[in-house]
Amino acid sequence: MKPDTDNEFTRRDFLKLTWGLGAGAVMPPFLAACSGSSTQEDTFDPPTLTSTNGILEVTFKLEYVDTILPVRNNDTGVFTDTKVHLRSFSSMIPGPTLRINAGDTLRINIINNLPPNPPSNDPEHLRYLNSTNLHVHGFHVNPGIVRPGVYGDFVVDDPNMGVKPGESRQHEFKVEADHPAGAYFYHPHLHGATAIQMASGMSGMIIISGGINKVPEIAAARERVFVLQRPIVDSKGLLEDFATIADFPANELGLLVNGRRVPRLTMKSGEVQNWHFVNAAIFNFANLALEGHTLNMYSQDGNPRPNMVPVPPTGNAKGEGVVLAPGNRASVLVKAGKPGLYQLKTLKFQMGRNDEAVQNFLKEDIVAEVEVSDEVKDMALPAGPLPVPPALRPITDAELAAGGGLKRNVVFRAVFNAPPPGSFNKPPITTGEASLVVHPGAEIDDWQFQRGATIANTVFAVGSLGESASPNPGMPLEFIPFQSHRALKQTVPLGSVEEWTIFNMNEIRHPFHIHVNPIYITKINGVAIEPYWADTIALPAQGTPEKPTSVTFRSRFTDFKGLYVLHCHMLVHEDMGMMQAVDVV
């Protein structure tokens, strides 16, 4: 096998693999033929790179790929193969799956071969759509500079910095031996460019193996990867303008799995497989259920649960299957039933808004087909409790108190002025609700995207309250977009244990995500639930300023000092300012 040059690959070269592919390559077939660190048994899963001797070292070229993808007509629902020209990791949509073990080191070198950022009259933070950086979503790793010239999970670049076209950046992620094992993923995270780059297809799965993989029934199960994406293009097959993604685009490709529309996988009757899902879409939820079968969820966001959660073929009584907000992951065990062809679906799901534009994005859809053969391979599901790593032990009241016990309240809100009766045009944010925004006259022009889309005259922001059971109308509350130099910051002492409540004042289910430290979710709308660990959670819908909805969690701020972020994982909202810094000191 040969790389871009004429020299033969060595094993060391392969561990530093750089893809430089020609036009039209989305899932390069040459990876299937490689030995050593790459595995590709069939065409369903993305190409895979696996660590060797405790390290996986990879180089990604950020470059355009010209290929054919199925684009859906939202009026007719018909998919048509369409030429697209999209940003990618090394000409692949999605990027390859990276497999490492707890205790390994992952080194990723980013080379930005995208063209220079084009001239733009958009707000300052939206002018760098070809600059980038890298986030390993869900990893508990160093968020800062590991050593001179080597970056950890560093995502707090000023937008006019990052990895500019023509530049490169070396990342290194040391995954500790006690890191929870499960499904994670990588994607760009430069403020103002995140949504347009992920909507182009720039993301890929990371699997960390550890203690949960030693359970005999899990160890015996074949693993499958499902990268759920909904790339977006304009009528020319391009994605070159923030306006294309700013609201509800007319040319959304529909749900793709591993870069394809409704792929098919095979199972033997009685076989158990281990499926890893990531929702890498920038807006849509997934609500997964498998026709004629139970999905046995044992891990959420890479965090193993002590007991599996069975999800029936039609979802629960509320019609909920395995619900994945943008950014969520889940791992499930599936035991194949009788021979036949079955559909894995995303069921209709209510994201909060009821208007027609949103409902077009919430309809039931087919994710993949599962063909069960009449060949029998009878396998067992785990019968008892599953092992949970010490890092995911419950956070008790006593530990919370011993760790400082600070309680914080954070509020997500899109601040806007309602249009006058009979009009669709919203007045400028400098009137009405503008009193909720700090010094709007000084910075408002650089906060808002004002061209065409209905989100114009809207400020997406995060506000903070003092210690309180619920937002108090009499208490000062300010909403400040992340791009403002006055943006609020949560300063947290290293080693502390805290309880946070995230309030939602909007009707839509903003997905809350925080970097570096996982969260132990204890309450929904103030009501205690059976706690579980995650790093991304959808805030309950139908919040209002007078009666917000909420999620309460506890978290240990351990191991790493530094600056990182919390934000909405509806990524247009993030790029418009619904993000806040966390500084662990």
55-80 per-position pLDDT tens digit: 999 999 999 999 998 877 767 778 88
Instruction: Please say which residue of 161, 186, 209 terminates a domain.
Output: 209
Start-to-end Cα distance in the chain: 49
Domain carrying residue 576:
393-584
Look up tokens 């405790």; give the residue. Answer: 54
Q: Using 50, 70 and 90 to split pLDDT, how confident is the model at 33?
A: very low
CB contact at 8 A, 140 and 179: yes
290-326 per-position pLDDT tens digit: 999 999 999 999 999 999 999 999 988 888 999 999 9
444-479 per-position pLDDT tens digit: 667 777 665 456 667 788 887 654 434 444 444 677
Mean pLDDT is lowest, of 74-78, 272-276, 291-295, 516-520, for 74-78
Amino acid sitting at position 585: V
Average pLDDT over residues 164-192: 97
Q: How many folded domains does the chain comprise?
A: 2
pLDDT at 356: 55
- pLDDT > 70? residue 578: yes
CATH number of the domain where residue 397 is located = 2.60.40.420
pLDDT at 61: 97
Instruction: Please say which residue of 152, 177, 209 terminates a domain.
Output: 209
Domain for residue 500, yes or no?
yes
Domain for residue 545, yes or no?
yes
Average pLDDT, the chain: 85
pLDDT at 423: 66
CA gap 83, 70 in Å, rounded: 9
pLDDT at 2: 31
Domain for residue 221, yes or no?
no
CA gap 264, 342 in Å, rounded: 10
Total Cβ atoms within 10 A of residue 73: 12
Domain for residue 226, yes or no?
no
Segment holding 196, helix H or strand E: helix 194-198
Q: Using 50, 70 and 90 to split pLDDT, how confident is the model at 121?
A: confident
Instruction: Please say which residue of 179, 194, 209 terminates a domain.
Output: 209
Between 107 and 251, residue with greater pLDDT: 107
Domain for residue 360, yes or no?
no
Domain for residue 115, yes or no?
yes
Domain for residue 55, yes or no?
yes
Domain for residue 231, yes or no?
no
CB contact at 8 A, 96 and 204: yes
Handedness of CA 184, 187, 190, 194 (dihedral sign): negative
Between 585 and 74, residue with greater pLDDT: 585
